[in-house]
A and B are shown apart, each in its own frame.
Chain A
């Protein structure tokens, strides 16, 4: 159990390459589950390797329980890691795999046996102990890899995309198990993934990364409901948030945006006028489940649009319409689903839609709450202390 804090961590490989990690700042409390999420190449795995000590950082500090560990060798950091490829020692049995780290640390044999038994029971792999990794399924290997990490009872667990080699069904099962395990053991955990559903379901805190920079750091709720920029808004959520381009207009001291479809148009009120926003090209962001359908509240302006395609997914039916030449997805209950070609009356609640600058992709202040990633990180860090 330990706190983890990254202070201004930088990583460069030199020789003209772009920085791999830039000014990474984040902090989590003891027992928290941190997700590093982002597309491949965003630096999340590098950051994890830096925490583990497998790669050196070029600047900044990594603090565990307030102690800087960035100069220590991996073995002294008291950190255990589960790898994407599991990295089980192929010539050793499961028992030897789990015991290896304990043997290296010269624990008495009785203690090692007890620990292996405890971990095997915890993960229900007692019947596999004498097998070699090659004799097990992917899911079983995954469990053993977790067992090897659990056996050392380290201060921090690191998971590097542990579920990405499993088939879809097993992935969901293991996800739940990892969450259960964490609830039971309450060990500080850092978990790298490119899967936004894993990020949403597992994390206490989520750091969304791109190009070596933390785009936003916060709780899954904050990230989902209050994304800092277009990238975060588009990355989290499935199906992704709708982005509708429009130009801000001013009328009677308030801002409006004009929505246009083949079947009609409407003016969407977008709050008080703020300095410099008038006439700007912006992107309106609205999640598929936040588009209201039907008569609804008469107070909201509505727009009619024709359903082009319907995609029933089972629990929901997704309807696709076109507004301002952008494809817009609407999430509907299956029994309320129209047919392709039907015209729908759509409404947008002004307090649910988000505005982003069309050029920079940053959240615009018109609807409040926008924060720069740096500020967000600092706020979270203060909260963490």
Chain B
């Protein structure tokens, strides 16, 4: 395990789901589906869970996770905002959920979802990577693991000099740790 470096476990950028800046949320979801279908699952059982957003120079400018997609499609209006505000005042999840049930719009979240997704632009919902989300491809996995845990990141963007070359996913690091544990068990 301690011999691994980031580039051993990373998913190359070419295999990852990416869309151009200006794409719609629907296009991003399609890109994710396509990447999942084409991905080689021989070495890892884990699906891709995010889409990278590239600018016209093919540089990564953001990341849209599955959580980000769900967040994007939640209705946003005065009523939902009021309930979000109320949650700041220390009420229980149960009470906040009962308010959501009471006041939720007659139209559900999934009504008209296709139309909504074709209007939304990815850059409005993507997360811009922070400085702590980049890691050099030659970094040891041990050190990268610290970065993932301390920053609570689901993935790190892997760099080679100025260039972004891939993504180190928490799921792949976890799989490597798991294999190391099992190897240890067999050796003993």
Q: Do A and B bind?
A: no
Chain B residues within 8 Å of A, Cβ to Cβ? none
Chain A residues within 8 Å of B, Cβ to Cβ? none
